[in-house]
Structure 1
């Protein structure tokens, strides 16, 4: 059975980059009728927080990305220790004691000599007495996995054929001096034990994948299919990493972005398929193909979410937004008419309040200097509220007859005078809801 996983660290809220990974893994599992695992990477007790665990679950549920099982790595520490001991017994796991300063000096020396800045495995030459002395002086060392210096190759689901010389990579640290198990080891153990068949993650993990392939093989596991998606950039190609804190899903939700807009964009962004609004998860799943994605950095612009959100909202019946319409102050007897007028003229549901305020209190008019006399003459012909569905056509016909204006020169100045905007709902439909006109009254 196809099994995928999403393994976030609960050290913050899910951002748009995390979502890309979660969504791809979810869609692969669902398209194959398989299983999607939510695995909380909470092996760092100092940085992991329950509020972030709750936030991760809340965001996924909001999007409709429902998991089949949830696991916490903090409850699986015994499994990681058993795997570590197995690697020790095989001679593939060793303790090293260099300080960060010493490692940095070694890297600089290697670079100056034109060599790859990889760990020199000096710890392998330490005697037991030397190790005991170093533990007494510095505390416990870190534990490194000893790579076989051979080429590591795999057929990546997005990048194609990958080949990495293990000699160009440092033996990875899997357990810190304080005993904390790092992601590289925990992930390998979990993927193997849980039967994960497909792993999709960012291209910044390619080197990690190479080392993990050797670890999986050493522990007797079955290699999953790996695919590494491109990293997101800003709309101008700038690094997105510094802005991810402002692109948390909870913030986008608070700004009114709809799940359908987020899912539709992120399921196609960076692929050869066009972005299309999908309101049905089944259609999104059916149309997903990981092989259609490329390796080039992918530009993401949060502004692209709003036209999709607007299109989604325009297709909703009143029942789907009744709570938000009521919260905007619209009485029940006006709700149907109000939604019919505004549904195609909002970016998000947060705009509803502004439209109801305009209808009840009038808008600050926009009157261009060259139209001031014309608008004043036209407003003198406008009857007092309440207006009805015929008011706009009757009034503009009379204004046309009196002033000789027609077309855009007639309608646009009047729209701007009544609504303060150059665009908006059909004025015939809006007028019955418009209670106050500020300009010239």
Structure 2
């Protein structure tokens, strides 16, 4: 299948060049959003911003038993933390009157019909079809029911589920990621839109909302491709010919081993990445924006860069591999390039009261911002010194420059030690680092010595914790 050309909505917005782009992210508040959700939210947000359009948060909370305000609030908090601020917001739970009106219209026009088969009866039908080598497509037996037969089922206490009658024709669309696509609706079952208990499945409310909100593009995962033909027909049944938004289906994420992310998905929620892993938002977004594309995966410091680089034609058809280590690499890269003012308040929240000199000294050693607290402990103490040669440490202490230590003190001090002891290289420097920091590696020692100060340096060189 041919790849779609690079898409510019300004010249072709769902067939209407005057139409303003409007997209939506539609999470269900039944759990935390994870990297898979964020990737779809990000692609919608980037597309809307690139086109000067509108990004809508649609909260899919028609499942009133499982949806919670706690999860809804967390979704909003996560989106704001990521910088994916929405322009409009609404909840499906406040729109049941619209869905009821759509239901009535579809019934009146003959598109929605009641079916009384139980799940066991449907399962037996599917098994028989498979045994006969046929696809397990619903046989539309309910369409031939008489009013008397329906009344008999009702008297037995059966409640109907409601199916949408598909055309049986070939539905085609130009997918903005997958290219020219089609589905023969004769090969799929008429979809159930309303359950026996009267509750709505995802499909009907989604179509109604997209029509009412004037959504121009639906950007989502490719697990929805099989639903596309039915949804296009429902759009046209409710909104007329050509009312379906443009569609873009992104390949799903898999782990670095090629397996589904489902086993790790709890640890890959935005909340966990932020609070437990200490990952920066732009590390997450930099990775997700480029996964599965022909672009190199590189750290971006702001969303504006990702907006300008968005190009659906670069998206591969193969599943995108999510590598946690890659995200960690981007996280470290971003911290190494971050200025002090951008993190000052966050450092203070960690109890770090040092200024820019400390930050510039330690940031090349950070993988997470919270790692700075460990280096601050190195300065503030207490630090247990590592001293293997007490005589060398004592000699070094005697040569420590007088007065307040500066960045130049380290060079003068080590030169004096070298002249006195004849040591050089690792033999000269490593014992001093170990004595002053208790570590074998870390920030540049000229800054460390200055931040520690003369009194603590002498105490640690004597072998005492300070």
**TM-score exceeds 0.5:** yes
Partner of 1:303: 325
Partner of 1:97: 116
Indicate the larger mover: 401-410 or 265-274: 401-410
2:306 corresponds, among 284, 287, 291, to 284
Q: Within 2, Cα distance between the matches of 1:214 and 1:420? A: 69
1:330 is paired with a residue of what secondary structure? coil
Shift of 1:174: 0.6
Q: Deviations over 1:116-162 (max 9, x none)?
A: 12222222222222222223334322111111112222111111122
Relative distance call for 1:169 and 1:419 in structure 2 (3 A) is farther
Q: Within 1, Cα distance between the matches of 2:198 and 2:248? A: 31
Relative distance call for 1:103 and 1:363 in structure 2 (3 A) is farther
Q: Deviations over 1:198-255 (max 9, x none)?
A: 1110010001112101111222341211111011111111110232121111111113
Q: Within 1, Cα distance between the matches of 2:430 and 2:174? A: 60
TM-score (normalised: structure 1)? 0.91
Correspondence 1:55-70 to 2 at 5 A:
55-70=74-89
Partner of 2:130: 111
Partner of 2:393: 379
Correspondence 1:228-239 to 2 at 5 A:
228-239=249-260
Shift of 1:2: 0.8
Give yes or no for contact 1:273–1:292 (8 Å, CA) kept in 2: yes
- 1:312 and 2:330 correspond: no
Q: Within 1, Cα distance between the matches of 2:185 and 2:432? A: 72
Structure 2 spans left out of the alignment, 5+ residues = 1-19
Give yes or no for contact 2:194–2:200 (8 Å, CA) kept in 1: yes
1:180 is paired with a residue of what secondary structure? coil
Shift of 1:351: 1.2
Shift of 1:394: 4.0
Aligned residues: 433
Q: Within 1, Cα distance between the matches of 2:427 and 2:251? A: 50
Partner of 2:448: 430
Give yes or no for contact 2:386–2:463 (8 Å, CA) kept in 1: no
Q: Deviations over 1:241-297 (max 9, x none)?
A: 232121111111113211222222211111111123222332221111122111111
1:343 is paired with a residue of what secondary structure? helix
Q: Deviations over 1:19-73 (max 9, x none)?
A: 0111111111111111111111111110111111111111111112121111111
Give yes or no for contact 2:397–2:461 (8 Å, CA) kept in 1: no
Shift of 1:323: 2.4
Partner of 1:257: 279
Q: Within 2, Cα distance between the matches of 1:100 and 1:421? A: 66
Runs of 4+ in 1 over 6 A off after TM superposition: none
Partner of 1:187: 206
2:358 corresponds, among 335, 338, 360, to 338
Relative distance call for 1:87 and 1:407 in structure 2 (3 A) is same
Partner of 1:85: 104
Shift of 1:381: 2.8
- 1:358 and 2:372 correspond: no
Shift of 1:84: 1.5
Partner of 2:6: none
Q: Deviations over 1:349-379 (max 9, x none)?
A: 2112211112222555678xxxx5xx55542
Q: Within 1, Cα distance between the matches of 2:66 and 2:41? A: 21
1:19 is paired with a residue of what secondary structure? helix
Indicate the larger mover: 299-308 or 143-152: 299-308
Correspondence 1:142-161 to 2 at 5 A:
142-161=161-180
1:381 is paired with a residue of what secondary structure? helix
Q: Within 1, Cα distance between the matches of 2:118 and 2:384? A: 66
Q: Within 2, Cα distance between the matches of 1:170 and 1:365? A: 73
Give yes or no for contact 1:231–1:298 (8 Å, CA) kept in 2: yes
Relative distance call for 1:167 and 1:420 in structure 2 (3 A) is farther
Give yes or no for contact 1:364–1:439 (8 Å, CA) kept in 2: no
- 1:10 and 2:29 correspond: yes
- 1:35 and 2:43 correspond: no
TM-score (normalised: structure 2)? 0.86
Q: Deviations over 1:71-127 (max 9, x none)?
A: 111111111122122211222211112222222222222222111122222222222
CA RMSD of aligned residues (A): 2.4
Q: Within 2, Cα distance between the matches of 1:167 and 1:405? A: 85
Q: Within 1, Cα distance between the matches of 2:437 and 2:444? A: 12
2:156 is paired with a residue of what secondary structure? helix
Shift of 1:438: 7.5
Q: Within 1, Cα distance between the matches of 2:347 and 2:120? A: 61
Structure 1 spans left out of the alignment, 5+ residues = none
Give yes or no for contact 1:10–1:53 (8 Å, CA) kept in 2: yes
Indicate the larger mover: 171-180 or 79-88: 79-88
Partner of 2:247: 226
